[in-house]
Amino acid sequence: MLTAPQFSPAGLVAVRTRIADAARRAGRDPAVVRLVGVSKQQPAERVRAAYEAGLTEFGENYVQEAMPKIAALRELGIDWHFIGHLQANKTREVATRFAWVHSVDRLRIAARLNEQRPHRAAPLQVLIEVRLDAATGKGGVEPEAVAELAAAIAQMPRLRLRGLMCIPEPSADADSQRLPYRRLRALLEELNRGGCALDTLSMGMSDDFEAAIAEGATIVRVGTAIFGART
């Protein structure tokens, strides 16, 4: 039988140390940077082990992969974050089982999530995914269209708009890594000057979360550096 390698807390400890160091270097309180462990392709038992090592929030990209994991770990009370591209025919599962969605990029998806969020649950915490680089990815709204989408989501009672998310083109150079994150922060500040009250920037992954923290990330989404390479 094939078994997944056991979870080793060393990666998690190292990531937490790097987060705290990056925050201090930026003159920020390390406690305001939340770590979401990206558990895509990780079996439920490895997520459980990471939870037992102190990680309480996890991010998943695919609804079909996430649902059995969420069911298997239900008693832990994990806050699940949906971070992948969301299709309209999958919004009900996300509205029902997740606490956060990082990847809202169109009105139709927001409207469905608002309609489908159960009334016994707290409002769904929502981020708008912004496409900063026209060349990257399949998701994300253009920066020029963010304000209009934000205004519409603000009217939806079962959603709570918290901020912005982006997935920039990878870059190995620390200075270039910071540029898109600086733009995302500027966009959030602009929305707040226009009357929004947004407090969340979801930006930074294993290879660049320090650059994102230097630019104000409040959530980093880290998979590989915690769990090892995905197969």
Applying CB under 6 A, the residues found at the interface with ligand PLP are 38, 40, 61, 83, 167, 205-207, 221-225
* Least Å from the CB of residue 193 to ligand PLP: 27
Q: Give the residue at shortest CB distance from ligand PLP.
A: 223
- CB-nearer residue toward ligand PLP: 127 or 156: 127
What is the distance between the alpha carbons of residues 175 and 188, in angstroms, rounded to a whole number? 21
* Least Å from the CB of residue 198 to ligand PLP: 19
- CB-nearer residue toward ligand PLP: 15 or 124: 15
* Least Å from the CB of residue 170 to ligand PLP: 9
- CB-nearer residue toward ligand PLP: 36 or 197: 36
* Least Å from the CB of residue 44 to ligand PLP: 18
Are 33 and 212 in contact by the 8 Å Cβ rule? The answer is no
* Least Å from the CB of residue 207 to ligand PLP: 6
What is the distance between the alpha carbons of residues 58 and 134, in angstroms, rounded to a whole number? 28
- CB-nearer residue toward ligand PLP: 158 or 183: 183
> CA distances (Å), 208 to each of 22, 199, 221, in order?
11, 21, 10
- CB-nearer residue toward ligand PLP: 205 or 211: 205
* Least Å from the CB of residue 165 to ligand PLP: 8
Q: 142-172 burial string, b = 16+ CB within 10 Å, else e?
A: ebeebbebbeebeebebbebbbbbbbbeeee
- CB-nearer residue toward ligand PLP: 146 or 212: 212
190 Cβ neighbours under 8 A, 6+ residues apart: 147
